[in-house]
Amino acid sequence: RTLAVAQTSEAQFKNYKNMKIIISGGGTGGHIFPAIAIADAIKTKNPSAEILFVGAEGKMEMERVPKAGYEIIGLPVAGFQRSLSFENIKRNLIFPFKLIKSLLKARKIVKDFKPDAVVGVGGYASGPILRVAMSLGIKGLIQEQNSYAGVTNKLLGKNVEKICVAYDNMERFFPMQKLVFTGNPVRRDVWDNKITAKEARAFYGLDENKKTIVLIGGSLGARTMNQAMRDNFETIKENDDIQILWQCGKIYIEEYEKTETALLPNVKITAFLEKMDMAYAAADLVISRAGALSISEICAIGKASVLVPSPNVSEDHQTKNAMSLVNKNAAIMVKDSDAKYNMIKTAIQLVNNEQLSGNLSANAKSLGKPNAANDIAEEIFKLSK
């Protein structure tokens, strides 16, 4: 589409003064932050729009969404556990009861709020809320972030009106006529970043003149990547002209903050990176899991990256996400099983190779979709007409 076709005039949206939208899903930052970006895009275009989030009780969206300024209601929903450990068998036995309770609560939420459209971004809560909404004749849209569709979205895709996707060949999972290629929503503070590397490094107490690697293990941290940092103490120490900002995750911080690696002067360890715009601005190179949000942000800002896909995801979708960049010479991938030996070595070699890292950065940038949230908001407005 040309820009003129892709962008709907602001005047069109003035017709939606009393629009109400439910956005449902969560569980991880990869679902939550795109959902917030979509909500922000809706509010930018129509400040009077009412937006209600629905998440899963006890999950991180119950904390993150209110911080972003939106109301959220939790459902007692939980996922079905595929691995059959004793604990998981117990969880699966109560799964049907939680699902029924969630469906009943979802029905009350939808009837009370009376949304014009419902949006699912993936995660446990999106299933009940969209199923109830569609049974009541309310139009639905789902946003599939990954290159391999999740089970919930594949089921919902049969009945929603629109499916916003970020990768090619998604007709493998969804009806072709419903697909809209928008890319994944990225927080505005990430892609519209005016912070200099000098400012960002000063913010984190880093040397402004050293090449900087930022390691992002995801919102909860990544054990394999943390172990690779710990086990490559000598390599990191020897390359003291390179500094590493190490986000290890809040559940791992006590375990790793006292390791020899964490105490090196060229390493800065932190549990969580609250200001991702600062972290990305500080980086010459990013080491990251290959979640959909991380890849979208890396492309939006055009950073060279070493991607270490998590093996603990359904259908190995992070490897598929990573390969979508690797096949276009936009990133380098290191298998999780090889991280201990190759992750740090590869990152150091890459950050020292300015030509290769520059090529990866430029190719990643060419794949970025910074207007994804706005394009998805437009599709929501169309459903709410």
At 3-61, the pLDDT tens digits run 333 344 454 545 556 899 999 988 777 788 899 999 999 999 999 999 999 998 888 89
DSSP 182: -
Residue 272: helix, strand or coil by DSSP? coil
At 87-129, the pLDDT tens digits run 666 665 665 677 788 899 999 999 999 999 999 998 888 899 9
In which order are the strands placed within the sheet that holds 179-181? 71-75, 50-56, 20-24, 117-120, 139-144, 162-165, 179-181
* Torsion over CA: 170, 120, 160, 49 (sign): negative
Query: What global pTM score does this model have?
Result: 0.82
Burial of 203 (0-12, 13-18, 19+ CB in 10 A): middle
Residue 247: helix, strand or coil by DSSP? strand
